Amino acid sequence: MPEGKLLTSLPPPAFVSPALRGHLGFFCFQRESFALNKIKKIAACAALLGACAGAAVAQTAPWTPPQNVLQLTATGTVEVQQDLLSMTLSTTRDAADAASVQTQLKTALDAALTEARKNAQPGLLDVRTGTFSLMPRYTRDGKITGWSGTTELVLEGKDFPRITQTAGRISTLTVGGIGFGLSREQRAKVETEAQTIAIENFKQKASELAKNFGFAGYTLREVSVNANQGPPIRPRMMAAEASSKMSYDAAVPVEAGKTSVVVNVSGSVQLK
């Protein structure tokens, strides 16, 4: 062998069997395949790292806030007659022990429910029970001297005469409070009207402001619409003297008022 030349492969000796030569060749092929796969994986990782680095550079680019953006709000209001009546009937009982008070309250409430259910009709007159509570009475020394309890029955619906006449026929409870509100159907109808008004007011306001700022018009960026649901019906408590003077089987006089439904529209526009 000449000097300076490295022998990288040797011919298999003559005494090596053909089967062993085949195994040696397969081993060399597997080593070459493994090396090739390793190179491919390294190249793929390098490409992935390059892509991530590019994305990081893109994400760190300075953010430019939008220009000529106007924030504004508008409302739509519709006044409507209240069409829902809620009437609360109640009674109070006193006794030396809690069981006696509970029995008296149950008897009074059962009789009132029996009478109210005769005229009940979904939407026109709905009947439900209210508060049912028992409380002890104490002396100055902290000893229990007796018990007091209260129970309620609520008549609610859109048929005012039916409700008031039913309340007048209930003899075991007296009217303790009257409240007015809007039915779901009436509120949905009026909210649609108020929403239309609010949206028109928003558009008109945006056009006027765009013109005042020297722009020809605008495009809508984002907007939200919210309706004022209004407070729940809270029956106005009646004076005990006036309530006690009402004769049974007499309708309780009521008169509903008006309420306002408000829809708010808020958002931003792009002046152009």
- Helix or strand run (H / E) with residue 81: strand 69-81
* Percent above pLDDT 70 for the chain: 69
Domain ranges of the chain: 83-181+233-256
Q: What is the pLDDT of residues 113-160, one digit of tens each?
A: 999 999 999 999 999 999 999 999 999 999 999 999 999 999 999 999
Contact predicate 170/115, CB 8 Å: yes
- Position 252 confidence tier, pLDDT thresholds 50, 70, 90: confident
Asked if residue 239 has pLDDT above 80, the reply is no
- Partnered with residue 224 across adjacent β-strands are 266
Q: What is the pLDDT of residues 177-216, one digit of tens each?
A: 999 999 999 999 999 999 999 999 999 999 999 999 999 9
Q: How many Å apart are CA 201 and CA 241, to the nearest integer? A: 50
Asked if residue 3 has pLDDT above 50, the reply is no
> How much is the pLDDT for 190?
96
CATH architecture of the domain with residue range 83-181+233-256: 2-Layer Sandwich (3.30)
Strand, coil or helix: 270: strand
> How much is the pLDDT for 40?
60
Contact predicate 230/180, CB 8 Å: no
> How much is the pLDDT for 100?
97
Asked if residue 238 has pLDDT above 90, the reply is no
269: number of Cβ within 10 Å: 25
Cα–Cα–Cα angle for 62, 63, 66, rounded to 5 degrees: 145
Burial of 210 (0-12, 13-18, 19+ CB in 10 A): buried
Contact predicate 225/195, CB 8 Å: yes
Contact predicate 191/234, CB 8 Å: no
Contact predicate 7/1, CB 8 Å: yes
Which tokens hold the place of 148? 């007091």
DSSP designation for 125: B
> Which candidate, 208, 268, 265, places its Cα nearest to that of 75?
265
Q: How many Å apart are CA 237 and CA 259, to the nearest integer? A: 19
> How much is the pLDDT for 115?
97
